[in-house]
Amino acid sequence: MAYEKKESYDPDVTRQLVEHYQQTLSLLGEDPEREGLIKTPERMAKAMQYITQGYQLDAKAILESAKFHEDVSEMIVVKDIELYSMCEHHLLPFFGKAHVAYIPNGYITGLSKIARVVDVYAKRLQVQERLTTQILQAIKETLNPLGVAVVVEASHLCMMMRGVQKQNSVTTTSAFWGEFERNETRSEFLKLISSSLH
* Strands 125-126 and 76-87, bridge-based pairing: parallel
Neighbours of 26 (CB within 10 A): 12
Is 69 known to be catalytic?
Answer: no
Which member of 82, 88, 129, 141 is catalytic?
88
Which member of 42, 64, 90, 137 is catalytic?
90
Is 158 known to be catalytic?
Answer: yes
Which member of 99, 128, 134, 179 is catalytic?
128
Which member of 49, 99, 156, 179 is catalytic?
156
Which member of 64, 153, 158, 188 is catalytic?
158
Inter-residue contact 93 to 123 (CB < 8 Å)? no
152-187 in b/e burial notation, b at 16+ Cβ within 10 A?
A: bbbbbebbbeeeeeeeeeeeebbbbbbbbeeeebbe
Which member of 87, 99, 134, 179 is catalytic?
87
Is 88 known to be catalytic?
Answer: yes
Q: Which residues are catalytic?
A: 87-90, 128, 156, 158
